Amino acid sequence: MLRVEQLSHSFKNGNESTVVLQEISFHVNKGEMIALLGSSGSGKSTLLNLMAGLMKPTEGNIYIAGHNIVSMNENQLAEFRRKHIGFIFQAYELIANLTVRENVELPLVFQSINPALRKHKALALLEQVGIPDKAELYPSQLSGGQQQRVSIARSLITEPSVIFADEPTGNLDTKTEEEIIMILKRLNQTMDTTFIIVTHEREVADHTQKIITLRDGYLVTDQGPAAEPILIGGIHSES
């Protein structure tokens, strides 16, 4: 479903070049929910943005549903993203002057889908994320947790193959965080959509089927809560 091969990335500032990701390889099966865990600055967002096709890696390949997104041009990539990729942001990124329902419908406005069907799909998703009664309110009238539910519904409306979420509970209190994770888990089970969730919190990662840990731009294998991480791609393993 998703395969990352020998991915490396550096940011260039004039003559300076900072290596952020080094020879990352892993794969994710269709319908899996995985966590990308690592402390701040470990390269999680960079990896997520590369996988979502928002920028090109310095080296390596990324296959999604059999297509190498690294070799696509801008137009192909934009089209591919619209069809196959959903994104959930830490700060929700809802449009303030659109209603909740209009926000959820938005990704479909760019496709030629009739307004009645669009509305029907949006309302069904708002039901799924537990806020059917908020459809005609504006984002500012909602709590943070409710806004993230809207953002989750929006990410699903195009029925993407994979959803990338960058610290989706980063702005939420512990109780709301738990609720949002449970919603993501349930959607993952019922909709067969692959979820990649970036987090710096072990408690969030422990809810997923598989954890991929990043440390200073390197991938660390991680079999579960009790396992000791082993550094891959580096020269030593941790004891």
Ligand X SMILES: Nc1ncnc2c1ncn2[C@@H]1O[C@H](COP(=O)(O)OP(=O)(O)O)[C@@H](O)[C@H]1O
45 binds Mg ion (CB under 5 A): yes
Size of the site for ligand X (CB under 6 A): 11
161 binds ligand X (CB under 6 A): no
Whether 20 and 37 have beta carbons less than 8 Å apart is answered as no
73 binds ligand X (CB under 6 A): no
Cβ proximity to ligand X, 44 vs 118, nearer residue: 44
**Shortest CB 44 distance to Mg ion, Å:** 5
Partners of 152 in beta bridges: none
Maximum alpha-carbon separation in the chain:
59
Whether 215 and 40 have beta carbons less than 8 Å apart is answered as no
Whether 160 and 44 have beta carbons less than 8 Å apart is answered as no
Tokens of 2: 């998703």
Cβ proximity to ligand X, 45 vs 193, nearer residue: 45
Only one of the segments 34-42, 114-122, 188-196, 202-210 lies at the binding site for ligand X (rule: CB under 6 A); that segment is: 34-42
**Shortest CB 169 distance to Mg ion, Å:** 13
Identify the residue among 2, 28, 33, 43 touching ligand X (CB under 6 A). Answer: 43
At 238 the three-state DSSP class reads coil
42 binds ligand X (CB under 6 A): yes
**Shortest CB 184 distance to ligand X, Å:** 19
202 binds ligand X (CB under 6 A): no
Tokens of 72: 């696509």
Identify the residue among 7, 37, 45, 197 touching ligand X (CB under 6 A). Answer: 45
Buried b (16+ CB within 10 A) or exposed e, 108-139: beeeeeeeeebbebbbebbebbbbeebbeebb
Q: Which of 47, 25, 22 is nearest to 36 (CA)?
A: 47
Whether 109 and 130 have beta carbons less than 8 Å apart is answered as no
**Shortest CB 101 distance to ligand X, Å:** 31
**Shortest CB 216 distance to ligand X, Å:** 9
Identify the residue among 38, 86, 160, 168 touching ligand X (CB under 6 A). Answer: 38
H-helix or E-strand containing 128? helix 115-128
The entry of ligand X, Mg ion, none near residue 186 (CB within 5 to 8 angstroms by kind) is none
22 binds ligand X (CB under 6 A): no
Whether 54 and 35 have beta carbons less than 8 Å apart is answered as no
Identify the residue among 2, 24, 32, 46 touching ligand X (CB under 6 A). Answer: 46
44 binds ligand X (CB under 6 A): yes
Binding site for ligand X (CB under 6 A): 11, 18, 20, 38, 40-46
